Structure 1
């Protein structure tokens, strides 16, 4: 066992973030790695048992963390995303959820052997997927926008619905099995649910109003929001269990659709906090499981229940509920397969396991085992299959990582053409139709609009792009764009053209110190690159070999050659900058802007002579 609670907290954080890093490094599902790590330090080796060690604090810690995660996820649910998807999402989160509840309850009764009462409670709970498992999968799989939005909206909306459905089923069962039925509890449940939704809306509007009117300072905005989230959740949950999830979801959606810039500014901080909480909770929950539960998972009735839930109940609920919508067959297949259960299912099921067992309902003793079996098998199966299935169904963004180029000019147009030749996605964004003229004439994908505009966020699909290059003539604007998108793309994937001013050997104020890496070299400005293109310089690809290695390439290249980017056989790309630490190897392709060879130079001179003679 761990020597102290402090050491255990440290270990939970280390294992959680370490699992996330391993998943990123080796392209594995993060939730699978976290689950395995928790099982190893918990029931397998007995290093820690958070539920026992934290005592009475264990439940509230998990509950508050779930509330914050669900709020952060719902803060991304802007109704503008629903253009063209409103009908299928509504169908899936209503009719689809109802069908899944009925079919799941029947399966729990006839296959898992639960009593009707327990089956309907657990059937309502198991319709949830949730942001704790869906968002890591979407981050890993790079689905096309439509499929990703459907899974995201379903996971976040159905999370509180599933918990409330379980409570509703329990209240109904309690009402009909009571010796003296009293409908006041049912009325109280519905009233509490309505109150929770109104409370969430009111908290969201209240925080939004304070932000808009300047009644809260910048440094208190993030802490203030978190405290109000906990307040909103606790008040609703104290009245009726699980209505707190509905309250924080309503609060998040309300804030997301008020169009407040301060909320967008805080989003990345909240995403980081959510990532930390998800990592910690998965470790805590899996580490708290008992060996007996792990062994019971492999009982035939539990295995049979999980198989039917994955291969029959989920696909049927999606296919039936989306009849008459514009979802393609491939989108229905993917959505019908991907439904991992996560933290909400585990935490709420443990609450009902004790209540139903105390009430003497048959089958309540295996609720925890059944829940973990469904969570573990769906997490593993869907975590490892989502990327492969998405590619087979043509619903993933395949190929080389793409680049968004901000600013249309002579150099960026030719750079985009070179990227298109190596089949790397590229798009040029500019707010001027005149500057986009050469881009359009070159057949290059483009977006006419302001990159920093809110409308661009909803109209420009950024899924295929991992790199961003700000290359306008305004250096301060380039720095602002890079600073804005750095949290989304990562510090190493955001570049700006050099702010170096050739005429006086100085930099443009302080913009060289902020926002993104300087593209290529600090003494190579965008004006210089455009001039080189106009002077006949060409984009050249050089494939390195064992004989013709990188050192030889550098020694033999023309001194005026500008190194642009490197293509790896794996498809990975690296743009040159003075911070680049990677050394190209054999089979890598080095792309450069090089002087024309002698033949090209003669043609250029001939054209220049003809041009002068015609004047």
Structure 2
């Protein structure tokens, strides 16, 4: 018992370590998880999931996959699919069946698999794993359209591929005389309707209970988790693996409701999903045996090559013809199709079931599936970024600053940052506040930054940092609290955080962001100084004019707000762990006399400073 507990703990440690290293080294996390699983299983024999967990291994994996698919559905916003709906619909309805048929033909004629095994394998490989594509999209920074296309296909196709595998398996059982043909159509249709209608009704019931106060806040996330597991298990009683469709429908419906606590539940589910994906990938890789590797012969290599270079490109190109997708988007989608947890889990289930039904080569299904999973994860994981850049589908914007609040001094700050080629946007619900920004050709968002429209219209990949600088300290804290999980707590800043307030007026330390300035300055302080002629100035540091020399050349009242590194990274002085270095451009808020007097200074190093001061005009 203690050994199992230790193994579970070490699997968790390995999963989180792989995720952290992937973030730190900017590598596909799934590649490192596969490596961790290989080391834990085939390489060392430390973990043998089938023996360690016994009969509960497969059910646990299936339940984890259900949670993962629900979380994927929860992240799908119907508004995102408006521009790509035709392409997604054709990929699912035309591309999916084409992949099924072509993969089955390839598995039989190139992979030397029997027809029953080839047909079921073809259905399984229709899926493109959301557990793989989501982290890849976060790292690749694709434009919104191709990212939406890949994300929707992955999440919608996963349960459909599992259902196609179920139908294939049931048909095979009818053909070999183990099931009655008359009951097959009834069971399949009933299960499909039960899955779709049941998932929709379950989601609406949860919505009604949550919105009408029948469930307390502290029970909403746990109750939702239990509802997912129950819906999945009940649907599977009608038809095996049809529960995947149920939970996906539940996720999509709930994700597009107006439940006030949905954001908190999404973060809770995302946390669980990261943990489950990490653990499952390690376990599934660790479950490989030497026999599985011996099955990977020349036939397997030809099959994998055909799936990568023939089946997927041909199916996608045919399905997306005339769909409105650009040729670049079609090329990218025809190549990027990494398989993940669902493919491996379902192949293990049906491989064992086909073997029990007397299909001799059914045990080769898991090896072939894993070969496709590994090949697609490695190749697609490392080529998504370069290919998207080559096709000009990658966001080329440097991470910029989103300013919430359209005061005159923020407009001048945005003008200065724009002159430094830093992407910047001002958001404000008051049209008069952003009118001057629009005249200065500064990108603006007219509306409340916390609105649903803002989360849909503003590309989060464009901004790495947020500054909430309205005259309402509580609203600034609310904005930072909302954007903190998305941008990172270290990258959201606000006014009104540094000054001392009485206990009754102070905010809890868990709310809001970091103080915008090192010294406690309020909105009124900055506004009044701006009225008195203070301006934002930019100065580039050099080897001979370092930060100490810069500070010595400025009056004490100058406010060093931030600096911009050569890479475009923005570092606020109030949150910095170090000091600016050569090549960095310091943006300061300086009095008018400092701007006039600096040219009169005689220090020779000043001539090398390459001051970029400019009075906003």
TM-score strictly above 0.5: yes
The alignment partner of 2:465 has SS state of strand
Cα distance in 2 for residues equivalent to 1:409 and 1:180: 73
TM-score by length of 2: 0.92
Closer/same/farther in 2, CA of residues 72 and 37 from structure 1, 3 Å limit = same
1:6 counterpart residue number: 5
1:580 counterpart residue number: 576
CA deviation profile, 1:532-587 (whole Å, cap 9, x unmatched)? 3444434333333343333333333332221122222333221221x421332333
The offset of 1:185, in angstroms, is: 2.7
Closer/same/farther in 2, CA of residues 598 and 353 from structure 1, 3 Å limit = closer
Cα distance in 2 for residues equivalent to 1:505 and 1:511: 9
- After the TM superposition, which of the residue ranges 448-457 and 579-588 deviates more from structure 2? 579-588
1:454 counterpart residue number: 452
2:610 counterpart residue number: none
Is 1:570 the counterpart of 2:591 in the alignment? no
Q: Do the aligned partners of 1:171 and 1:186 also contact (CA within 8 Å) in 2? A: no
Is 1:19 the counterpart of 2:18 in the alignment? yes
CA deviation profile, 1:191-233 (whole Å, cap 9, x unmatched)? 1221122221121111111011111111100000000110000
1:265 counterpart residue number: 264
Cα distance in 1 for residues equivalent to 2:174 and 2:460: 51
The alignment partner of 1:327 has SS state of coil
1:353 counterpart residue number: 351
The offset of 1:43, in angstroms, is: 0.9
The alignment partner of 1:468 has SS state of strand
The offset of 1:56, in angstroms, is: 1.6
The alignment partner of 1:241 has SS state of coil
CA deviation profile, 1:364-418 (whole Å, cap 9, x unmatched)? 2311110110000100111111111111222122242122111111221122122
CA deviation profile, 1:313-351 (whole Å, cap 9, x unmatched)? 111111111111111111111111110000000010011
TM-score by length of 1: 0.92
Q: Do the aligned partners of 2:405 and 2:428 also contact (CA within 8 Å) in 1? A: yes
Cα distance in 1 for residues equivalent to 2:397 and 2:543: 26
Q: Do the aligned partners of 1:499 and 1:508 also contact (CA within 8 Å) in 2? A: no
2:487 counterpart residue number: 489
1:529 counterpart residue number: 526
- Mapping of residues 135-150 of structure 1, within 5 Å: 135-150=134-149
Cα distance in 1 for residues equivalent to 2:552 and 2:491: 28
The offset of 1:174, in angstroms, is: 2.4
Is 1:518 the counterpart of 2:477 in the alignment? no
Closer/same/farther in 2, CA of residues 531 and 158 from structure 1, 3 Å limit = same
- Choose the corresponding residue for 1:423, options 402, 421, 424: 421
1:591 counterpart residue number: 587
Runs (5+) with no aligned partner, structure 2: 600-617
Is 1:303 the counterpart of 2:301 in the alignment? yes
CA deviation profile, 1:406-451 (whole Å, cap 9, x unmatched)? 1111221122122222322211111111011111111000011111
The alignment partner of 1:363 has SS state of coil
Closer/same/farther in 2, CA of residues 550 and 370 from structure 1, 3 Å limit = same
The offset of 1:599, in angstroms, is: 7.2
Runs (5+) with no aligned partner, structure 1: 604-615
The alignment partner of 2:461 has SS state of coil
1:383 counterpart residue number: 381
Cα distance in 2 for residues equivalent to 1:505 and 1:376: 56
Cα distance in 1 for residues equivalent to 2:467 and 2:278: 32
2:371 counterpart residue number: 373
Question: What is the aligned length?
Answer: 598
